[in-house]
Amino acid sequence: MGELEPTAFVVDGDMQVHRSVRRLMESVRLRVETYATTQAFFEARDPARPGCLILEVRMRGMSGIDLFHRLRAEGDRIPVIFLTQHGDVPMAVEAMREGAFHFLQKPFNEQYLLDQTHAAIAQDLRRRREEAERRSASARFESLSAREQEILSEVIAGRTNKTMARQFGVTVKTVEFHRSNIMKKVGAENVAELVCLLLRSGWDKRISQVAEHR
């Protein structure tokens, strides 16, 4: 799997933490990489690589919280588990509100950290799979012609073929032809599947705009 193998990225200035977390992750054959500074991780980070980030809050230079904010500002959604002995309740609440996966204090329970790491990686893989499905569905809707998009907006609104034929000044067979093409292009067997794909792709908003501008 190479570079796309799920990885636990550990960013901590304590080499003892590096050793203990590496030993823990490798005991279950989970790939792990360690970084002594937030800057080193930030410069090496490739958002295409799945996994989770185990991050100390207080670091020299850029803090763990600052790194978290920089990653999010750049659109990197990697799950972050804050691991620190300096954290307090307000800090934990703020981190969780801003989308951190978990906030743990040292010394940590190894099994609990392992469980949370697996859960965070599963979340990241699920998100990536859903985003890939959304992009694929969006590309299929993108392939529709302008007229097919118009027909699609009416199909979603529940219009009959006869109603659409009168509205567009075409025959019912022409409407049926367009409907068939729409289903083939987007890969839907019926209207229910069509609606699900539309919502998953984010194209429901664009179809609404098509309807508004007619």
pLDDT tens for residues 141-200? 999 999 999 999 999 889 999 999 999 999 999 999 999 999 999 999 999 999 999 988
- Give the pLDDT of residue 177: 96
- Give the pLDDT of residue 211: 47
- Give the pLDDT of residue 67: 95
> What's the length of the chain?
214
| Average pLDDT estimate for 203-209 | 66
- Give the pLDDT of residue 207: 67
- Give the pLDDT of residue 203: 78
What would the two tokens of residue 72 be? 């999010």
- Give the pLDDT of residue 55: 95
User: Strand locations in 57-112, DSSP E?
Assistant: 80-84, 102-105
Task: Please check whether residue 125 is in contact with residue 6, taking contact to mean a CB–CB distance below 8 angstroms.
Answer: yes
Other beta carbons within 10 Å of 81: 22
Q: Give me the chain's average pLDDT, please.
A: 90
Task: Please check whether residue 176 is in contact with residue 182, taking contact to mean a CB–CB distance below 8 angstroms.
Answer: no
- Give the pLDDT of residue 2: 44
- Give the pLDDT of residue 66: 92
Tell me, rounded to whole angstroms, the distance of Cα 153 from its chain centroid. Answer: 27
Q: What is the DSSP string of 108-143?
A: PPHHHHHHHHHHHHHHHHHHHHHHHHHHHHHHHHHT
Q: Does pTM top 0.85 for this prediction? A: no
- Give the pLDDT of residue 92: 74
pLDDT digits (tens, 9 = 90+) for 6-54: 999 999 999 999 999 999 999 999 999 999 999 999 999 999 999 999 9
- Give the pLDDT of residue 85: 78
Distance, CA of 72 to CA of 75 (rounded, Å): 5
- Give the pLDDT of residue 54: 97
Instruction: Tell me the residue type at 86.
Output: H
* Burial (0-12, 13-18, 19+ Cβ within 10 Å), 48: exposed
| DSSP letter assigned to residue 171 | -
pLDDT digits (tens, 9 = 90+) for 69-106: 999 999 999 999 998 877 666 777 788 888 999 999 88
H or E element at residue 178? helix 172-186
What would the two tokens of residue 208 be? 């609404």
- Give the pLDDT of residue 94: 80
